[in-house]
Amino acid sequence: MSRISWKAQRVLGGAALACTLLLTSAVPALGAVPSPGASSSAVPAALTHQAVTAPGITTASVTDAPGELVAATPRITGAPRVGEKLTAIVGYWTPGTKTTYQWYRAGQRITGATAKTYTATVHDRGKTLTVAVTGSQAGYTTKTVSSAAFGPLAAGVLTAPVPKVPAAPKVGQRLTASVGNWTAGTVLKYQWYRNGSGIKGATAKSYTATASDRGKALTVKVTGSRTGYATKSVTSAKSRAVAAGTLKTAVPKVSGTAKAGMKLTVSRGSWTTGTKLTQRWYRNGAAISGATGTAYTLKSADAGRTITVKVTGSKAGYTTLTKVSAGVRVQAASKPVAKPKPVSTRTAPRGKNCPSTHPIKGNADSGIYHVPTGSYYSRTTPEECFKTESAARAAGYRKSKL
């Protein structure tokens, strides 16, 4: 095996130190014939440095020193404010070098910030940042270089979309602001405006339009705030003029006995809260004078007629609406039943005979009455005819014995 040796020699009588390179190897001496099977050439297997001194001076072996890495000074790119993503630009290093990173805030190590990029946090506001890049490679001395100070960092800029409100609002309508996507963690506040003037108490995301808004435009201002960021406000475009509201209504219903002298009552149903309700009763479509209550007592004039009631609702800022009940037909007055004329219990005879309705014959001379089955009935000429025997007796007659 080959070996290269360095021999250091001190020249007698001089201050200089001479170094002589001695090459020893397994190469045969000049002119020697290689042994059978030996390689025709030999490659040095190891290189060492051996210091050789002049006679009487100690000789020592020396190992190669590590190389020095080429390392550029890193720099930081990105916007110097909270919430921004910053990147370390490392520049040129010796090929094959492995680099690692550590970010610092005002000279203090930031825990966990060991990547090439770093997103500035609220803790960085008003402070400077640096990044240290450490390079390592086998056979070289590890090296660390730091960037220049970056910053100080300003407040972050919130992502703040322009809010929207319903384009065609109406009185009574619940309006909700559409705010879009703000920077995560942002706290939002709201203020609604009527023709540019703030509406007292209207500080929620939703707002119900009132009568005061009718004919006016509405807007909403959204203000976002987050620690480390500059507070930001954005205002929506104006809505159209607020239109009149539409009342919630119900068809009224009439109950009761539809007969003269009886009372009918109206159930008005559920209307928009705060609606003022009035009613008017009608007979065959004509208003009944004075009939404006929730109940109406039927009169004889209503007999045979159809009764309805109209309920009218009104509220400030809303369109007035009227609803009509179904008709109720009042019973017609019944014709009085003629009392039967009283039938007389006695009547005058028709010659010698009595009518069939009054078959009993009364003989005034004898004071006797005869019934159709009596022996003298056909021979008796009556002065009076009676309907019943009791009637004859009541008149003073007695019954014939034959």
Domains of the chain: 2-29+42-62 (no CATH), 75-156 (2.60.40.2700), 174-245 (2.60.40), 253-329 (2.60.40.2700), 346-399 (no CATH)
pLDDT of residue 178: 97
> Would you say residue 318 has pLDDT above 80?
yes
Euclidean distance between CA atoms 322 and 328, whole angstroms = 18
The model's confidence at residue 335, banded by pLDDT at 50, 70 and 90, is: low
Q: Could you give the percent of the chain with pLDDT greater than 90?
A: 74
Place of tokens 């045969």: 28
Question: Considering only CA atoms, which of 188, 180, 186, 120 is closest in space to residue 154?
Answer: 120
pLDDT on residue 241: 98
Tokens of 48: 């060492």
Instruction: Of 104-108, 192-196, 271-275, 396-400, give the lowest mean pLDDT range.
Output: 396-400
Q: What is the pLDDT of residue 240?
A: 97
pLDDT at 333: 72
> pLDDT at residue 15 above 60?
no
pLDDT of residue 63: 56
Q: State residue 401's pLDDT score.
A: 87
The type of residue at 18 is A
Question: Which pLDDT does position 181 carry in this prediction?
Answer: 97
Strand partners, 89: 75
pLDDT at 24 (0 to 100):
33
Q: Which residue type does 4 have? A: I
Q: How many CA atoms lie within 13 A of 370 on its CB side?
A: 21
How many residues are listed for the chain in this entry? Answer: 402
Residues 155 and 177 sit within 8 Å (Cβ to Cβ): no
Which comes out higher in pLDDT, residue 29 or 228?
A: 228
Task: For residue 122, give the amino acid letter.
Answer: V
pLDDT in tens, 60-77: 444 578 999 999 999 999
What's the one-letter identity of residue 99? T
User: What average pLDDT does this structure show over 222-233?
Assistant: 97
pLDDT at 48 over 80: no
Which stretches of 177-315 are assigned E, i.e. beta strand? 187-194, 197-198, 206-208, 218-225, 229-230, 232-235, 245-246, 253-255, 263-267, 276-283, 286-287, 295-297, 306-314
Does the pLDDT at position 90 exceed 50? yes
pLDDT for position 47: 34
Q: What gap in Å lies between CA 218 and CA 165, rounded to an integer? A: 8
3-state secondary structure of 213: helix
Task: Tell whether the model's pLDDT for residue 21 goes beyond 60.
Answer: no
- What's the average model confidence in pLDDT over 354-375? 91
pLDDT band at residue 294 under the 50/70/90 scheme = very high
Contact, 130 vs 174, CB < 8 A? no
- Partner residues linked to 295 by β-bridges: 265
Q: Residue 124: how many CA atoms within 13 Å on its side-chain side?
A: 30
For residue 229, what pLDDT band results from cuts at 50, 70 and 90? very high
Q: Hey, what are 342's tokens?
A: 């009283």
The yes-or-no verdict on residue 284 having pLDDT over 80 is yes
Is residue 161 scored above 70 in pLDDT? yes
Average pLDDT taken over every residue of the chain: 86
The average pLDDT across 8-28 equals: 35
pLDDT at 332: 86
- Report helix, strand or coil for 300: helix
pLDDT of residue 402: 82
